[in-house]
Copies of this chain bind each other. A is one copy, B any other.
Amino acid sequence: MNERLIQQLQFLDEIEKLKLVYRRNRTVDRSRFENSAEHSWNVALMALVLAEHADTRRLDLLKVVKMLLIHDLVEIHAGDTWIFDEAGAATQAEKETRAARELFGLLPADQAAAFEQLWHEFEARRSAEARFAASIDLLQPLANHLLSGSREDEEIKPTAQAVLARKRPIAESSASLWSVAQSLIERSREQGLYLDEAGTP
């Protein structure tokens, strides 16, 4: 077995750990928390199904899917930060940049550079592909939360307005998906999953 293949297999052994990074959202039967590996599958497939709704006509779909398959790998070292945890977010970027360097660095140099560049492009939303991938990554938890959430779940709920503000980047890549997001947020608010503007459930 050559050195290149050995490096690739070591990387693949390491990324098994993404299955052990748990998120705030639940599975639809509410038996357990969703993990970042199945979330990554979910968004990659969602992108395939919804690609026609991107405002950009000529989207490189393979690039979108690649971004979504790798976008959370840094959490293996840096952990998952809840979208409404502002204190966590402040230190998260630096931790994730270091994690990307270490994790992708397990791969042969050319692949390491390509994956790391792709991850940075996604994080900075620097291309139409990155913006669409980011939109899907923002949309999936909304759909999942409406299916699996309960008004009793969280001690500290965000307001619907705060959720709208966080999800607004969806509008940058797709007018239709932004409508979907708004509708999901409204229906979730009606079910008591978010607080209303006055801060009451």
Contacts and interface: CB of A to CB of B under 8 A. Distances in A.
Interface of A: 1, 5, 8-9, 11-13, 15-20, 27-29, 31-32, 34-35, 37-38, 40-42, 44-46, 48-50, 53, 61-62, 65-66, 69-70, 107, 111, 143-144, 147-148, 176, 179-180, 183
* A1, A17, A38, A53: most-surrounded residue (chain B CB, <10 A): A38
Contacts of A180: 1, 5, 9
Contacts of A13: 143, 147
A33 to B, nearest CB: 11
Given A27-B16, A53-B5, A143-B13, A66 B48 contact: yes
A19 B107 CA distance: 28
